[in-house]
Amino acid sequence: MSPFPAHGRTNDQRSAEDLAAQAGRMLTNLRVSRIAPEELGPLAEAEARAVIVDRLAVARPGDVVYGEWCPDATDRLEADRVWFVDPLDGVSSYVTEGRPDWAVHVALWEKNSEGVSGITACAIAMPAYGRVLTGRGATTYQPLSIIRGPRPGPLVPPRDDDRLRIAVSESDPPEFAEELAEKLDASLVHLGSGGGKTATVVEDECDAYIHTSGHHQWDSAATYGVVRQRGLHASRLDGSELVYNVEETEFPDLLVCKQDVAEKIIEAVRQYV
């Protein structure tokens, strides 16, 4: 049984999903405007952040909201409820026409009266698809704008063999990615956003997602929550647990994968970490 009240978890989970979807709608609308890419990214991040922060200020005025706009904030360390928010994950994909691999991350960390803590509500919106990923599945919503051109297809092509598929960063993949793929007889999939790579695992398009270039707590809190609630594996590359709302703001690496391949991948990457 969870140490957190069921009615509270239900309301908070609904809020996480609604916030991610609302920011996603706004980003979808803004994306079809005629704004130069170099201006669109910063504007979109700021607008999406305002959507989430402003709504939380009204709905959850006593909660702390934490993200890249306040990386050194320490009030969260004494709080019982902290929202970890990445309002636009995958900016370079967002500003590139036709790219669907960008996302919105919202997660709530809580601590109860006995000191038990963890991620209790989480959502990753994939606005290009009008979809929000949660720990219990995916929900859909209707974007407010008319999407120009055809709807995007799957993030990755359908499988044509039974080899492992590992999602890695497009811009900064692990230095050992090719060697690891050869060792595991796996194929690599290069994508932009962490949310996109997470989506490929939770939706069974890939078997694992490996990240080695560092990530902040707000980057991965929703990923950790969704993946763990789905019964999948999420940890550091060495298999150690990720603990949120700690003083350390950045973690060096991340592994998201199916449970049945976790031990094999952790063992295979041991020589690199």
Model pTM score: 0.91
CB 40 within 8 A of CB 31: yes
Q: Which tens digits make up the pLDDT trace of 194-245?
A: 999 999 999 999 999 999 999 999 999 999 999 999 999 999 999 999 999 9
Residue 123's H or E segment, with its range, is: strand 117-126
Q: Which tens digits make up the pLDDT trace of 204-217?
A: 999 999 999 999 99
C-alpha–C-alpha distance, residues 144 and 138, integer Å: 19
Q: What average pLDDT does this structure show over 111-136?
A: 93
What is the rounded radius of gyration, in angstroms, for the C-alpha atoms of the chain?
18
User: CB under 8 Å to 179, separation ≥6 — which residues?
Assistant: none
Q: Which CATH number fits domain 164-272: 3.40.605.10, 3.40.50.300, 3.50.50.60, 3.40.190.80?
A: 3.40.190.80
CATH of span 6-140 = 3.30.540.10
- Domain boundaries of the chain, sorted by first residue: 6-140, 164-272
Residue 146: which pLDDT band, with cuts at 50, 70 and 90? very low
3-state class of 14 per DSSP? helix
Residue 55: which pLDDT band, with cuts at 50, 70 and 90? very high
Residue 118 phi, psi dihedral angles, 5° rounding: 165, 175
Q: Is the pLDDT of residue 99 over 60?
A: yes
Residue 65 phi, psi dihedral angles, 5° rounding: -115, 130
